Structure 1
Amino acid sequence: MSHRVFVGEFRVEGDKRILQCHSRGDKRYSPFFCYVKAFGTKDSIENHYQCAKRFEGCPDPGNWTAARYWKRQGCKQIAWQIGDRQLPVKSNEQGTSFAIDDWGIQYYIALWHRHLSQHPEKVEWARQFDEFEDPFKRDFPFCQADVIRVAAREGVEALLPYFAPLKQLFDTK
């Protein structure tokens, strides 16, 4: 499957300004280039997210490339290791991706929430755009473009409901 990838920070289509939220677009909005501290480790959002994946019969991934390698090898993801909790994967109805309430998706959004809370200038910059694009999204239920869209239009705190169950799980420890 090919993706139309616009290289550059944004593009204009008609009267709409579209922020490119990916590694070949505006890197300030790419999970590969946005760092945050989680469970005592400072790393990129992408590495935190990918390293949380647990695959049946495969070693724990030490970085994002290992996690993608195991997936390409046909290893089935069975859980998420988030902090000291191992949580099950929740698939979407089609079984092709994660459900919006999957623990890993919640973790991904929580990482972005933390990063954007620490960098309000990024949210402010994003407010000048009409649309937010990630051509690598595929059937991922809530990508960085979705996160940036919510934060820019409604504020960073509007992301809280998307990961409230995960936050509650860790708040009750």
Structure 2
Amino acid sequence: MEVDKVVRILHFDDEPTVVGWIPSALMENLLRRFPRSVDIAGSTEDVNDEKVDSQFVIDWPNYGIVQITYHVESTLDSFQKRFKAEATKPAVVTLDAMDEDTDKPNERTGEQLLNWVRDQTPKNRTSIMLLTGYRDELESFIAKKKVEVDDAFLKAPNKLRFVDRLIWNIENELKRPR
């Protein structure tokens, strides 16, 4: 099956197994929307303590054959390397906003990481979603207009709402000229 478009989703979370449900939930939701369009035989998924990798192909109406890849990176270094690599530059980024008082060396706070992603990204090139366990930080991001309210989620998110918004962001990426 020849792929017309590739949508890459890159997720930074220091606990990748906590968000390991997202690729399966995304694929299940797309199966309901577009029955007989998802190539499950071509799907792969690898979940371990350090990362989550998943990919599948869908015949998406109006966009053709779309390959969706989903990667969760658990270290800042691996996230930044994957993000910077031109061949794997993501279209949708989901970030775990860390507490401002993180005790991990070389770990960026949520706001620092969000600003870094924006600095690395051409204007309107990447959709950013935020997922955090810190209510105060989430409210701060929204108040400072660092992220759209619809793209901000408190852990553990409502799975249906999260996946619906992820699909909305994917469709926006598919509409953008490349």
**TM-score, normalised to structure 2's length?**
0.28
